[in-house]
Amino acid sequence: MKQASVLVCGTGIAGLACALGLSRAGLSVDLLGPRQMPPVRPADDYHPRVYAISDTSRALLDRLGAWRLIHAHRITPVEAMEIHGDANGFLDLSAWQDARDTLAWIVESGEIERALQQAVQVMGVAWHEDQFTGLETKGQGVCVMTASGRCWQPDLLIGADGARSPVRQAAQIHHDYTPYGDMGVVAHLDIERPHQNRACQWFTGDSVFALLPLPDTADGPQASLVWSMPENRARRWLAMDAEAQQAYLFAHALAITGGRLGRLRLRTRPQGFPLTLERTAMVAPGVALVGDAAHRVHPLAGQGLNLGLGDVQTLIQVLSDREPHRAIGDLQVLARYRRRRAEPVWAMGAVTHGLHRLFGTQCASLAWARNQGMQLADRLPFLKRQLIRAAAGD
């Protein structure tokens, strides 16, 4: 029987993981998109983008043979999270409270990409450095056009082409888009006090200031900052010269963190990303979306990529479990994928959006309730275990 063919468009983490997983599941896979192997960085130089990887995502990367290709000394386990409200609210989530060692792992984007690219190479997945330009429906299937003038007729086209997804647009897949009016600004910082593998987050009312632990370097301990703040303020900060950027951080960070990790200094230049809540119908005949092409959530829970890797895992499962008479692009098969992703994607969007609104409101009674709610949650071991399991991606 002819092997079913898949074309994965997009060579970010979701696309690479998808191509690798489907190839390992026995499908004939081609990858379409730019190819740039992230360089191996010197010991104390860290890629500016890092992700909190959940246990479920780590397990997927492990099954794909990629986790073991990431240098162990560049992976930072998160053993506890402390979340500070804007008044006296405080929540401490420690791995031991749910009888586990780790809540998540902080890993550089470049390291994950490099490991996945190596695994894709070992698997012999054909990689075409070309660009998706359009789509035509042909009978039951699709015809995919690329910038080089090539036309592909895969049994299934997967759009893993990021938040602006040209595949989603060409396949006319329904897409809801809500801008937050905020930017997520990321940078690595020198910290004075050891982080002790704790992730710390402060809700300040109009911003969320998060510090993720990174490995210590010869210059001392460091953490990665993710600061979600109103877009106009973020743009002003990003436009400043290096000295003014340091002064801005110094002026605000001490007030927000109360000196929790001592004095904070920028190690890398801050980079900003506009924040949106996006939801899509995820499938069309012969087409499925994964990763940011399929959804985007606020980064305050550090779960966007984990959600995308959840798509990859589910899509592999659904395609592998289909009845032998069904084609992989059959809308009935793809609808199963959409149904199975609907609840986790909706829930993550609802939780992150709800928290963003709850902590953004000026209403005094809600401000009181959110901080009391945190204090109450901190005293309820059962609820804390549920929160820990959600953070771990269980």
Q: Decide if residue 131 touches ligand FAD (CB under 6 A).
A: yes
Calpha distance 98→388 (Å, rounded): 7
Closest to 292 (Cα-Cα) out of 177, 212, 393: 177
DSSP string, 199-237: EEEEE-SS-EEEEEE---BTTB-EEEEEEEEEHHHHHHH
CB of 16 to ligand FAD, least distance (A): 8
CB 19 to ligand FAD: min, Å: 11
Contact 155, 163 (CB under 8 A): no
**Per CB under 6 A, 160 contacts ligand FAD:** yes
Look-up: residue for tokens 């990763």? Answer: 291
Which residue, 42, 52, 99, 43, is CA-closest to 77? 52
Q: Mark residues 173-202: x for contact with ligand FAD by CB under 6 A, - for none.
A: -----------x-x----------------
Structure tokens at 163: 């938040």
User: In the complex, what is the shortest distance from the CB of residue 379 to ligand FAD, in angstroms, rounded to a whole number?
Assistant: 28
**Residue 154 sits in the site that holds ligand FAD (CB under 6 A):** no
CB of 12 closer than 8 Å to CB of 113: yes
Residue 270 near residue 184, CB atoms below 8 Å: no
Q: Are 142 and 88 in contact (CB under 8 A)?
A: no
From residue 304 to residue 333, the character string flagging contacts with ligand FAD as x (rule: CB under 6 A) and all else as - is: xxx-x-------------------------
Task: State the binding string over 69-108 for ligand FAD (x if CB under 6 A, else -).
Answer: ----------------------------------------
- Per CB under 6 A, the list member of 21, 213, 302, 329 interacting with ligand FAD is 302
Residue in 161, 182, 278, 330 binding ligand FAD, rule: CB under 6 A = 161
Per CB under 6 A, does 157 bind ligand FAD? no
User: Distances from the Cα of 65 to the Cαs of 116, 237, 310, in angstroms?
Assistant: 8, 40, 17
Residues at the interface with ligand FAD (CB under 6 A): 9-15, 32-34, 51-52, 131-132, 160-162, 166, 184, 186, 226, 273, 291-292, 299, 302-306, 308
